[in-house]
Amino acid sequence: MARETAGKGWPVTVSIGAVTFLRPAWDVDLMVQRVDAQMYAAKRKGKARIEHAVVCEAQDATTAGEPSRERRATARVVCNQPAAVHPEADGRGAFATIRDLSVGGVGLLLGEQYPLGTVLVVEPMTRGARTLLARVVRSAPVEGGWFHGCELSTRLEEDELRRWLENRPAKTV
């Protein structure tokens, strides 16, 4: 790139920050912040540099308590759908807001914190969407309660995800 821009007389330099995540973090925003920090480190060290880091575990890049395997293989869609949630072990339930949803995971906003590993039954208040079985893999306090990142016991098919997001009734076969 330096050769091309110099050959054309352009006074342009490029600083690049790169991170190889061997086990990506749950939160893409935190991963982007880590890459951004590498870019600014390159700029501080001089023009036309590349700074690269290798992060072995998700906790190295973000915070403890996040899953140690990739959870962001698919896009998560913000949906803000209401649901009833209760731990599989007991019947006491709570209302939740499903903040985001993907074919393999769900983000729940709840008034209380559930421990990591808790299996939750998530019953949609959306006609036609099926009940989900999810396991808490991370939680954090947020304004209005606790955010719980959960993995689903089975992946949602594309049409099921669409029903959740579009609030359409399921087709009977």
Distance CA 2, CA 23 (A): 32
Rounded CA gap, 119 and 85, in Å?
Answer: 10
pLDDT score for 168: 39
CA 81-134-32 angle, to 5 degrees, is 75
Report how far residue 100's alpha carbon sits from residue 141's, in angstroms, rounded to the nearest whole number: 16
In a 13 Å sphere around the CA of 158, the CA atoms on its Cβ side amount to 1
In angstroms, the Cα distances linking 43 to 3, 16, 61 are: 19, 8, 20
74 vs 98, higher pLDDT: 98
Answer for the pair 138, 118: CB distance below 8 angstroms, yes or no: no
Q: What is the pTM of this model?
A: 0.52
What integer is the mean pLDDT of 90-100?
A: 83
User: What is the rounded CA–CA span in Å between residue 173 and residue 169?
Assistant: 13
**Mean per-residue pLDDT of the chain:** 77
Mean pLDDT of 106-128: 88
Residue 136 one-letter amino acid: V
Mean pLDDT (whole number) for 115-135: 85
* Cα-only R_g, the chain: 21
- In the structure, what pLDDT confidence band is assigned to residue 89 with cuts at 50, 70 and 90? low
**Token match 């920090």: residue?**
37
Q: Is the pLDDT of residue 15 over 90?
A: no
Q: Where are the alpha helices (DSSP H) in 46-126?
A: 58-61
Instruction: Centre a 10 Å sphere on the Cβ of residue 41 and count the other Cβ atoms it contains.
Output: 14
CA atoms within 13 A on the CB side of 99: 12
Q: What average pLDDT does the segment 112-120 reach?
A: 90
Domains of the chain are 13-61 (no CATH), 77-166 (2.40.10.220)
pLDDT, tens digit, 9 for 90 and up, residues 26-76: 667 677 778 888 888 888 888 788 999 998 865 444 343 333 334 444 556
